[in-house]
């Protein structure tokens, strides 16, 4: 994951409709073909089962061109997810300060992103994709591997896969109830109320004995 802090210069996670901010605008058709191939392969083979080389072959271009347009495999995967934000930079404040208070910081970042109307619709599109196996794989790899995985490793917790899966299970539930179903009273609760309810849960999953 060498490119994990360099994404701010690629603009690759802002969706295909927006022009790349690099030096060269690139050919939109080639770029779209790469992105389409990437989305298809990540959805069918998962993050781990997809290589830049395979995406390049499926798009009929050279692997170097994929790197040129999209950067690392992580960058390409995030571009394929069409997230409205780059979770790698969004999560940096969670890591700063270490494990104490990380549950609350994670929750506040999460609520800040989701409560922003501009982010909510593209994120909900990803959630609706859960009805299909391809969308399930994108969400599983995207949320666990790309968004929460680096947080667990960055915090240096023991058994990060298990702990971050527990964290994910609570946050995904909030997404479904508050943002997708708009179930009351969750949909109308203020961020501070949600933090009071959920931060101790997340902190326990991150740092306390679970057996």
Q: Which residues bind its own copies (CB under 8 A)?
A: 127-131, 136, 139-140, 144, 161-162, 165-166, 168-174, 176-178, 180-181, 183-186, 189, 193, 196-198, 200-201, 204-205, 210-211
**Pick 92 or 139: Cβ nearer its own copies:** 139
Contacts of 30 (CB under 8 A, 6+ apart): 59, 61, 65, 69
- Closer CB to its own copies, residue 53 or residue 162? 162
Q: Which is nearer to its own copies, 92 or 186 (CB)?
A: 186
- The residue (of 16 and 46) whose beta carbon lies closer to its own copies is 46
Number of CB atoms found within 10 A of residue 112's CB: 14
Minimum distance of its own copies from residue 141's CB (angstroms): 9
| Nearest distance from C-beta of residue 119 to its own copies, angstroms | 19
Q: Which residues contact 183 (CB under 8 A, 6 or more apart)?
A: 177
DSSP, collapsed to helix, strand or coil, labels residue 16 as coil
Contact of 42 with 138, CB cutoff 8 Å: yes
The least CB distance from residue 182 to its own copies, in Å, is 8
Q: How far is the CB of 70 from its own copies (least distance, A)?
A: 25
Q: Distance between CA 42 and CA 78 in Å, rounded?
A: 10
Residue with token string 């298809």: 40
């Amino acid at each position: 994951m060498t490119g994990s802090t360099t994404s701010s210069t690629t603009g690759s996670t802002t969706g295909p409709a927006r022009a790349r901010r690099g030096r060269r605008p690139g050919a939109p058709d080639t770029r779209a073909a790469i992105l389409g191939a990437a989305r298809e392969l990540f959805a069918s083979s998962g993050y781990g089962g997809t290589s830049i080389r395979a995406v390049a072959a499926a798009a009929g271009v050279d692997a170097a061109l994929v790197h040129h347009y999209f950067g690392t495999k992580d960058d390409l995967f995030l571009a394929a997810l069409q997230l409205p934000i780059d979770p790698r930079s969004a999560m940096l404040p969670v890591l700063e300060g270490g494990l104490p208070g990380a549950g609350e910081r994670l929750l506040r970042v999460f609520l800040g992103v989701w409560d922003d109307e501009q982010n909510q619709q593209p994120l909900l599109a990803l959630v609706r994709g859960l009805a299909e196996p391809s969308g399930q794989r994108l969400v599983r790899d995207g949320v666990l591997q790309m968004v929460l995985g680096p947080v667990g490793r960055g915090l240096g917790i023991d058994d990060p896969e298990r702990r971050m899966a527990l964290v994910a299970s609570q946050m995904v539930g909030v997404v479904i109830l508050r943002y997708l179903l708009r179930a009351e009273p969750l949909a109308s609760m203020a961020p501070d109320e949600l933090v009071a309810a959920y931060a101790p849960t997340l902190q326990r999953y991150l740092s306390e004995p679970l057996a």
